[in-house]
Amino acid sequence: MRTIVRTLTFLTAALAGAATFAQDPQQGWLVNTLYQSGKINAVVAGVAVILAGLAVWLFIMDNRMRKLEQEQPRK
């Protein structure tokens, strides 16, 4: 859990750092792809982020559940 949170924090920070350099719409693959076909890709990226986030949440919950199952309660 801790490792996942740390990794995610690092990734977010790294992406945020990269984002500040992508100011010019003429530069950067990310920005260019966002603008394609009437800006639909911004929506698709948003949906992808939500689904990816839900997946990460499910994995975290899955891990916690597994730990819970492995811990046999002492009678």
Partner 1 sequence: MKYWWWKVLSVVLLLGVVIVGLRTPLSPALIACTPDRVAPGPVTVTLAGYNTHFTDAVIALWIENSGQRVCATSFKALSNDRIEMQFTVPPGLRNEFCDLWVRTRTHGDLRYRDAFYTVERGQGLDPATASTCEPADVAAASTPFTLPNRNILNESIRNLFFHVPMWFAMVALMSIGVWKSIRVLQLGKARYDREALAAVQVGLLFGLFGLVTGSLWARVTWGTWWTTDAKLNGAAVAVLMYLAYLVLRGSVPEPAKRARLAAIYSIFAFVFMLLFFFVLPRLNAVDSLHPGNGGNPAFNTYDLDSRLRMIFYPACIGWIGLSVWMYDLRKRMAHLENTRQHANDR
Residue 50 is a binding residue for partner 1 (CB under 8 A) = yes
Residue pointed to by tokens 């500040």: 20
Which 3-42 positions form the footprint of partner 1 (CB under 8 A)?
A: 19-20, 23, 25, 31, 34-35, 37-40, 42
Asked if residue 39 lies in contact with residue 48, where contact means CB atoms within 8 angstroms, the answer is no
Judged by DSSP in three states, 49 sits in helix
Helix spans in 20-28 (H): none
Question: Which residues bind to partner 1, rule: CB under 8 A?
Answer: 19-20, 23, 25, 31, 34-35, 37-40, 42-47, 49-50, 53, 57, 61, 64-65, 68, 71, 73-74
